[in-house]
Structure 1
Amino acid sequence: MYSFGFISLNPELENSYFTEVAKHASDYHIECYRFSPIQINPVTHLVTGEKFHPDLQEWQPQKFQLPDILYDRCFYSEHPLAKNALAIMKWLKNRGDLLFIGHGLPNKWQLYQTLSNSNLSPYVVKTISVTDAFQTLSFLEKEKKIILKPASGSGGMGIACLEKEEETISVIVEKQQQILRSTFPSINVAQKWIDNIRTKKEYLAQPFLQLVDQANRPFDIRILLQKNGNGQWVERGRGIRTGQANGVLSNLSAGAETVPFHKWLNSIDPKKIEFLEKEINEITTQLPIILEDTYPPLFEIGVDIGVAQDLSLWILDVNSKPGRKVVLETSPSAQESLYTAPLEYGRMLAGQQEQGRKSYEKTFSNRNQ
């Protein structure tokens, strides 16, 4: 029997998901555990976490060895504990003797550099790394309207829109599902604001694209890709995320709504649907190959694709630790596969690792006879 461990800074945040996966684990002869990186004893390497008990259908405190199969679902903030956890996770992944079902992706700037030099470059939004206020304002002068986003992070946190109109510069942000717009009283104030945000974290800038629906609401297509029990990439589902009218974000954390993909597709000119779906499939087929040619193996990818009014497609974000809300709400039939996929793929990897170990031991034994 294999042991499977969910690693999370706060297991309660994904309690429902972890629990549903754990309920299916006995069918695969797998025991499930969950813990935070900071719960690992640095000397004994024993973990003080929780084990799922199928008979009770609940998690209970327990000490245990690091599980055979590890699933990284850590999301990091600027909090000191999060930084400590990140350091521990890097140590775990560098050990070489632990089995992770997937590894994370680098920040958005590194991803941009990879994708902009790949076959998918026509779908990549032009991006610059924000180095100073003068460079950013020069970019704004050229584009007239730009998006500023953190190089690391998710959920739309820290995203702002700058717009140049004649001699004024305005900024639009969404906070607590409210759209806030203000105008800088002078260029100097705008410069100080830009310099201030980039001292806190690395930022990127992109031209603002009109990725809105007929009601002027920002929207995108969220597609979830995962590996199945044979290690092959499959699409679990796709749905539409729609934000507030005249807003900037289509993230669910910013109050976006979900719409089934097929329902949105009905609003498209029937003559253009085949072309649109072909383009989307090109992205979802090529993307995992490109990423795994450059970075360590992955288990799942959340892909956000923007659609302009001329139906041109843009890769907005790629996430190696995606949420499942869009798929669960728009493709209910995919629910079962979402709960069994980590178990099936993890069991396959563990089986391969065990077979490789046996082959090595047999070869080593024959050499010493």
Structure 2
Amino acid sequence: MIGVFMNKRPLNSMIRGNTSYEKLEFYRHFVDTFKEPLCFYSLDNIDPYRASIDGYVLLPGKNLTQAEVRVPEHHFSRAIIYRQRNLNKIKKFIRNHRTRFYQFQSKKERNKWTNYELLNNVPEIKSHLPETYPLTWDNVINILEKYKQAIVKPIYGSLGKKVVLIEKRGQIYTIKEKNEFRLVHSEVALEHLEMYYLSKFKRPKRFIVQQKVNTDRFRHRIYECRVSVQKTSSGEWEVTGWAVRLAQKGDYLTNVSQGSEIIPFSRIFNPKSDTAYTIRDVTTRIAKQFEKHFPDTIDLGIDLMLDNNKHVWFIEANLRDQRLSYYNDREMWRRTTITPLVFIQNQMVSESVTKDG
């Protein structure tokens, strides 16, 4: 049995069948195909000192049932832990029961600045990284002077929230941001830009500033590639899914949650082209580097952009890929859901053989 650790809200939504990204039917496909039971649970369902979990169990050919089961030895984390007391609880649970967690996610693993630094030390990856710095007023100005466009984003943000685009056009600066999914822009002089900066980013340590990629366009709209790179049954990193998110016309954000359109990767790129090869190469190199620093990483959703010369740029890595980019391709959505579980099952078999030997 594999434990599947989730945050409480998506777990309850999945049980009711109304979650947008955790699909019980895909987990059921894994259980029925590979004959490996799953136990779904949240932080509320565990006690570091109890040898059992009061979770939701899926057995081959059976419906999801609430049951108390022995703590599994292997777990796949789909949860994000931010609060220190919750982090302490789950770490104590892992330590007391000697369990193994794959894809563990706390602030440490999700820090965009830390992730940039660990990738920036690899020559083969560095050329694919936009210039990025901790947010300061001087760093904003330096990026604007050099590239004319700067992106400011939260270190721990997701779904395109609180991401701001600033553009320099002569002595005028254009600010673009989203307000309740509505694109808002304003034009200001330098002194007013500084006033905006001081009022908007009162805690600059929570943000980074980044070179804005001069993005390639499709149908006059910018786009971003979401690439799933995962540990497969072979134990190797492989690209298991990809799609393109097409921003709304005039928008600078490509997140599905911000209204972007999802189109198949093959609509823009030939999967056998040099560009597709480069995307596979870059994403697998990035995944291997993440694994060096976070050894139990097995599942990444990597966002890439291409510039006008088709050069590939890394934007960010998502350690809990919600797979919304595969909404129109259920086969790809299913495959990227079960691939990490197949890898974990193979690890369980290998460990069992080693113990028996």
Common fold: TM-score over 0.5 = yes
* Structure 1 SS opposite 2:23: helix
Distance 1:106 1:162 in 2: 24
Distance 1:92 1:168 in 2: 55
| C-alpha contact (below 8 Å) 2:246/2:261 kept by paired residues | yes
Q: Report the counterpart of residue 237 of structure 2 in structure 1.
A: 233
Offset, 1:235: 1.9
Q: Report the counterpart of residue 329 of structure 1 in structure 2.
A: 328
Letter in 1 for 2:342: E
The superposition leaves residues 140-178 of structure 1 with CA deviations (integer Å, 9 ceiling, x where unpaired) of 344332000111232212211122344443321124432
Letter in 2 for 1:265: F
| C-alpha contact (below 8 Å) 1:239/1:259 kept by paired residues | yes
| C-alpha contact (below 8 Å) 1:72/1:103 kept by paired residues | yes
Distance 1:83 1:13 in 2: 25
Q: Report the counterpart of residue 285 of structure 1 in structure 2.
A: 284
Distance 2:218 2:34 in 1: 47
Identify if the C-alpha distance between structure 1 residues 345 and 182 changes in structure 2 by more than 3 Å, giving closer, same or farther. same
| C-alpha contact (below 8 Å) 2:35/2:60 kept by paired residues | no
> What is the correspondence of 1:1-369 to structure 2 with a 5 Å cutoff?
2-10=1-9, 11-13=11-13, 16-44=22-50, 46-52=52-58, 57=63, 59-75=64-80, 84-92=85-93, 97-104=98-105, 105-118=109-122, 119-130=124-135, 132-183=136-187, 186-198=192-204, 202-265=206-269, 274-330=273-329, 332-359=330-357
| C-alpha contact (below 8 Å) 2:78/2:103 kept by paired residues | no
Distance 1:278 1:169 in 2: 38
Identify if the C-alpha distance between structure 1 residues 32 and 277 changes in structure 2 by more than 3 Å, giving closer, same or farther. closer
Offset, 1:206: 0.8
Offset, 1:134: 4.2
Which consecutive unaligned segments of at least 5 residues does structure 2 have? Answer: none
Letter in 2 for 1:299: I
The superposition leaves residues 152-211 of structure 1 with CA deviations (integer Å, 9 ceiling, x where unpaired) of 23221221112234444332112443211134572452242244152xx62111122221
Letter in 2 for 1:259: I
Identify if the C-alpha distance between structure 1 residues 183 and 47 changes in structure 2 by more than 3 Å, giving closer, same or farther. farther
Letter in 2 for 1:282: D
Distance 1:179 1:101 in 2: 38
TM-score w.r.t. the length of structure 2 is: 0.84
* Structure 2 SS opposite 1:245: coil
The worse-fitting range, judged by mean Cα deviation, of 314-323 and 47-56 is 47-56
* Structure 1 SS opposite 2:75: strand
Distance 2:32 2:331 in 1: 22
The superposition leaves residues 227-246 of structure 1 with CA deviations (integer Å, 9 ceiling, x where unpaired) of 22232222222111111112
* Structure 1 SS opposite 2:161: coil
Q: Report the counterpart of residue 366 of structure 1 in structure 2.
A: none
Offset, 1:295: 2.7
Which consecutive unaligned segments of at least 5 residues does structure 1 have? Answer: 360-369
Identify if the C-alpha distance between structure 1 residues 183 and 326 changes in structure 2 by more than 3 Å, giving closer, same or farther. same
Identify if the C-alpha distance between structure 1 residues 91 and 163 changes in structure 2 by more than 3 Å, giving closer, same or farther. farther
After superposition, the CA RMSD in angstroms is 2.9
Identify if the C-alpha distance between structure 1 residues 123 and 3 changes in structure 2 by more than 3 Å, giving closer, same or farther. closer
Identify if the C-alpha distance between structure 1 residues 287 and 93 changes in structure 2 by more than 3 Å, giving closer, same or farther. farther
Identify if the C-alpha distance between structure 1 residues 166 and 342 changes in structure 2 by more than 3 Å, giving closer, same or farther. closer
Offset, 1:335: 4.8
Distance 2:268 2:92 in 1: 44
The superposition leaves residues 24-69 of structure 1 with CA deviations (integer Å, 9 ceiling, x where unpaired) of 3144332222111233124425433322355552x33333332232
Distance 1:335 1:134 in 2: 43
Distance 2:286 2:194 in 1: 41
Distance 2:351 2:309 in 1: 48
Distance 1:45 1:202 in 2: 39
| C-alpha contact (below 8 Å) 1:229/1:341 kept by paired residues | yes
| C-alpha contact (below 8 Å) 2:49/2:96 kept by paired residues | no
| C-alpha contact (below 8 Å) 2:247/2:259 kept by paired residues | yes
Distance 2:337 2:112 in 1: 28
State which structure, 1 or 2, has the greater radius of gyration over its C-alpha atoms: 1
| C-alpha contact (below 8 Å) 2:3/2:41 kept by paired residues | no
Offset, 1:314: 0.3
Offset, 1:312: 1.3
| C-alpha contact (below 8 Å) 1:211/1:308 kept by paired residues | yes
